[in-house]
Amino acid sequence: MSTSLSTPPATGRQAAADASPVAAPAATRPPRAPGGRRRRIGLRVLALGVLYLLWELTARAAGNPTFIPSPAAVWDQLVLTSTTHDGIRGYSGHLLIEHLAVSLRRILIGSLIGVGGGLLLGVGMGTVSWIRVVVEPVVTFVRALPPLAYFSLFIIWFGIDETPKLWLLSIAALPPVAVATASAVYSAPTELVEAARALGAGRWQVVRDVVLPSAQPEIFTGIRLAVGIAYSSVVAAETINGVPGIGGMVRDAQRYSQTDVVVLGLFAIGLSGLLIDALLRTAENRLIPWRGRA
31: helix, strand or coil: coil
Please, which pLDDT band fits residue 112 given cuts at 50, 70 and 90? very high
Q: Is pLDDT of 13 > 60?
A: no
The pLDDT assigned to 33 comes to: 55
The candidate with the shortest Cα–Cα distance to 174, out of 119, 125, 219, 128, is 119
Residue (of 20, 3, 11) closest to 216 by Cα position? 20
Residue 68 CB neighbours (<10 A) = 17
* Selection from 163, 171, 164 nearest residue 116 by Cα: 171
Give the integer Cα–Cα distance in Å for 56 and 77.
16
Query: Are the CB atoms for 173 and 114 separated by under 8 Å?
Result: yes
- For the segment 228-245, the average pLDDT, to the nearest whole number, is 85
Q: Report the SS3 class of residue 70.
A: coil
Contacts 24+ apart (CB under 8 A), 49-54: none
CB 226 within 8 A of CB 174: yes
pLDDT score of 168: 92
pTM flag (> 0.85):
no
Question: Per 3-state DSSP, what percentage of the chain is helix, strand, and coil (rounded to 5)?
Answer: 75, 0, 25
